[in-house]
């Protein structure tokens, strides 16, 4: 966005307003003395229209536009409410005073294990039960999950313990069953820009948990959410799970500053998943505490009654005692 100043005398006033609004800008002069400001409105937490209105009195505002008009129109107090049979709904909100804990095993192995897990998690205040029915594995030779019937099974156990159920739909063919049984449908990091899947999920009205792809910029992530809104469903919860960067000692780089920026720019709630981002048990508590201090809308963690028996991601899952200790410590 560019503001061409009506008069050079207005510059101090414009700088004052821009600084107050927290806009980054660059002041330049043309060769004939005219002054203008280049304002990075793409990167600003304010809507372009609002900036245009605030600065329009000082001169001519050029180049208003946004790639995410539907996200921009969400109200500031936007929240996603997930209904749970026979229980209070679960509310996801941007800067949350009551962050939502999402926990459960990486993959669904058997109902008995999951029920034991769920009973403990309920006692620790977890409101959403996660579990992978269909697993997106990098290699076709790794364990691929129990399949679509797991959606129903997960939901039944979740509801038994007054929790909502979340699981991932990998294929367009999974959408119907996912929308029928699950309370929240997850789009995995690898499918963040699978636009066919996003469009089909947007035709339903179930909340969607959209994970960030490890190679996606913040605005690409927002644009993927915009696809779901453009199909008619605005009930989107974002999930940060680490980006590709310098990491050698950790799996990915957890981008908490990126979450903070997204929260100032868009109204969608964002949960943080330290398990996948770091793959390192020792720091999950510190990362969860940091995310809740932003504050984020919630935390997503992998738990398992007996991590070493789990069929995937065994060593990053917390056992029940570890998870209890973590929630106790973070809640302090």
Minimum separation from the CB atom of position 10 to a copy of itself (A):
14
Rounded Cα distance, 126 and 161, in Å: 10
- Yes or no: say if 308 and 301 are a contact pair by the CB < 8 Å rule: no
Q: Which long-range contacts (CB under 8 A, 24 or more apart) does 44-49 make?
A: 44/265, 45/261, 45/264, 45/265, 46/21, 46/22, 47/72, 48/1, 48/72
Q: Does 329 bind a copy of itself (CB under 8 A)?
A: no
| The one among 149, 173, 176, 180 contacting a copy of itself by CB under 8 A | 173
The binder of a copy of itself chosen from 10, 260, 267, 324 (CB under 8 A): 260
Report how far residue 192's alpha carbon sits from residue 195's, in angstroms, rounded to the nearest whole number: 8
CB of 300 to a copy of itself, least distance (A): 15
Instruction: Round to whole Å and give the CA distance between 210 and 314.
Output: 24
**DSSP-derived 3-state class of residue 65:** coil
Contact between 230 and a copy of itself by CB under 8 A: the answer reads yes
- 310 scored as a contact of a copy of itself (CB under 8 A): no
- Closer residue to a copy of itself in complex, CB, 109/174: 174
Q: Smallest Cα–Cα separation from 134: which of 188, 198, 196?
A: 188
The smaller minimum CB distance to a copy of itself, of residues 114 and 198, is found at 198
- Angle of helix 284-293 relative to helix 256-265, nearest 10 degrees, comes to 20
Residues 6 or more apart whose Cβ sits within 8 Å of residue 24: 39, 40, 43, 44
Task: Map the footprint of a copy of itself across residues 92-121, applying CB under 8 A.
Answer: none
Query: Which residues between 40 and 79 bind a copy of itself (CB under 8 A)?
Result: 42-43, 45, 60-65, 67-69
Cβ 199 to a copy of itself, closest distance in Å? 8
Measured distance CA(268)–CA(160) in Å, rounded = 29
Instruction: Return the residue of 85, 123, 147, 172 that touches a copy of itself, per CB under 8 A.
Output: 172
Q: Tell me if 235 contacts a copy of itself by CB under 8 A.
A: no
| 304 closest CA partner among 127, 105, 25 | 105
- In the list 51, 213, 236, 326, the residue contacting a copy of itself (rule: CB under 8 A) is 213
Question: What binding mask, one character per residue, do residues 8-47 give for a copy of itself by CB under 8 A, x or -?
Answer: -------xx--x--x-xxx-xxxxx-x-x-x---xx-x--
Question: Which stretch, 82-90, 115-123, 147-155, 254-262, contacts a copy of itself (CB under 8 A)?
Answer: 254-262
């Amino acid at each position: 966005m560019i503001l061409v100043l009506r008069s050079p005398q207005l510059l101090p006033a414009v700088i004052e307003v821009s600084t107050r609004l927290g806009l980054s800008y660059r002041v330049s002069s043309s060769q004939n003395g005219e002054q203008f400001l280049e304002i990075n409105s793409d990167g600003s937490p304010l809507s372009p229209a609002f900036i245009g209105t605030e600065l329009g009195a000082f001169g001519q505002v050029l180049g208003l536009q946004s790639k995410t008009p539907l996200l921009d129109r969400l109200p500031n107090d936007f929240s996603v409410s997930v209904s749970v049979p026979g229980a209070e709904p679960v509310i996801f909100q941007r800067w949350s005073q009551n962050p939502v804990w999402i926990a459960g095993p990486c993959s669904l192995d058997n109902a008995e294990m999951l029920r034991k897990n769920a009973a403990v998690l309920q006692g620790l205040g977890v409101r959403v039960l996660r579990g992978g029915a269909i697993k997106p594995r990098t290699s076709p030779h790794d364990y691929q999950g129990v399949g679509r019937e797991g959606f129903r099974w997960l939901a039944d156990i979740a509801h038994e313990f007054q929790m909502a159920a979340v699981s991932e739909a990998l294929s367009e063919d999974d959408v119907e069953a996912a929308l029928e049984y699950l309370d929240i449908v997850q789009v995995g990091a690898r499918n963040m820009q699978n636009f066919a899947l996003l469009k089909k999920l947007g035709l339903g009205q179930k909340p969607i948990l959209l994970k960030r792809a490890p190679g996606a910029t913040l605005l690409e992530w927002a644009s993927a959410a915009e696809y779901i809104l453009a199909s008619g469903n605005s009930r989107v919860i974002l999930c940060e799970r680490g980006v590709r960067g310098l990491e050698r000692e950790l799996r990915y780089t957890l981008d908490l500053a990126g979450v903070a920026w997204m929260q100032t720019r868009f109204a969608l709630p964002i949960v943080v998943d330290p398990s996948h981002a770091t793959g390192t048990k020792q720091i999950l508590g510190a990362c969860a505490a940091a995310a809740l201090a932003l504050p984020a809308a919630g935390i997503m963690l992998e738990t398992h009654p007996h991590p070493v028996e789990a069929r995937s991601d065994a060593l990053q899952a917390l056992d029940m005692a570890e998870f209890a200790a973590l929630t106790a410590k973070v809640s302090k």
